[in-house]
Each structure stands twice: as C-alpha cells, then as structure tokens.
C-alpha cells in the first residue's frame, strides 16, 4: 500500500475518533453527532482525539523506527504519564489493562512481551 494512502486512512481514523470523544460513555442512540464538538465526560476541547488514537500514534512511531518492544513500552509510558501523542499533552480514558501493562513493565520489571499477562 502506498504511504500517501496509508496517511489518508490514518487521518480519517483520527478525525472519526475526535468526533466520537464527546459521545464516550453515552448510551448508543441517545446522541447525534453532526459536527465536531468538544466536551463529553472527559471535557475535552474540540478536535481532541482519544486514547485509541494516542496509542496508535505511539505504535506507528515504534513501527517506523524499528524499535524494540521495550522502546514501545517507553512510548506507551510517555503517552500515559507525560501526555506524548495527545493533542493537549494530557492522557485521558486509558484503559485499566493498558495502564497496568505499562506499570508491570516499569515497576515490576516484567518483560514487555509479558507485561499484559495476569
């Protein structure tokens, strides 16, 4: 697949994610999104994308750099704890499993390939 096509698909996914942020936590069918707005349970400004995009951006940086799994965990930690890969330098909505895997890697010294295991 051509790089330009991949880039366009990723941009579309990021925009779609930003549309969905204000609706997170709401019951399906109780809202209608016809334009990009801010707010929601996370009180994010207009155009903010979610943890899904932030984690994807960290993964893409990892894949294009050819890093190790440990380097990927550093990227995830920088996202969660420092706000890297976010539009506002603030992580929000990070799932319990993702957060625990990063903590396992850094604090319990669990190998990156096993940090998400119970």
Each residue's pLDDT expressed in tens, for the chain with a length of 118 residues: 798 999 999 999 999 999 999 999 999 999 888 999 999 999 999 999 999 999 999 999 999 999 999 999 999 999 999 999 999 999 999 999 999 999 999 999 999 999 987 6
Residue with tokens 């396992």: 104
- Residue 15: the pLDDT is 96
User: What pLDDT, on the 0 to 100 scale, is given for residue 72?
Assistant: 96
SS3 call for 37: coil
Q: What is the CATH number of domain 3-114?
A: 1.10.4080.10
pTM above 0.75, yes or no: yes
Q: Are 76 and 58 in contact (CB under 8 A)?
A: yes
Q: Within 10 Å of residue 17's Cβ, how many Cβ atoms?
A: 17
pLDDT confidence of residue 84: 98
Question: 3-state class of 44 per DSSP?
Answer: strand
CA–CA separation, 8 vs 99, rounded Å?
A: 29
């Amino acid at each position: 697949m051509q790089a330009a096509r991949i880039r366009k698909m990723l941009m579309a996914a990021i925009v779609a994610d930003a549309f969905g942020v204000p609706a997170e936590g709401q019951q399906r069918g109780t809202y209608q999104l016809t334009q990009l707005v801010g707010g929601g349970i996370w009180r994010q400004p207009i155009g903010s994308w979610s943890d899904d995009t932030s984690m994807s951006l960290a993964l893409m940086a990892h894949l294009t750099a050819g890093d190790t799994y440990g380097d990927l965990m550093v990227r995830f930690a920088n996202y969660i704890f420092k706000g890297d890969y976010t539009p506002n330098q603030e992580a929000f909505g990070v799932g319990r499993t993702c957060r625990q895997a990063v903590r396992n890697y850094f604090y319990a010294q669990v190998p990156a390939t096993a940090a998400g295991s119970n």
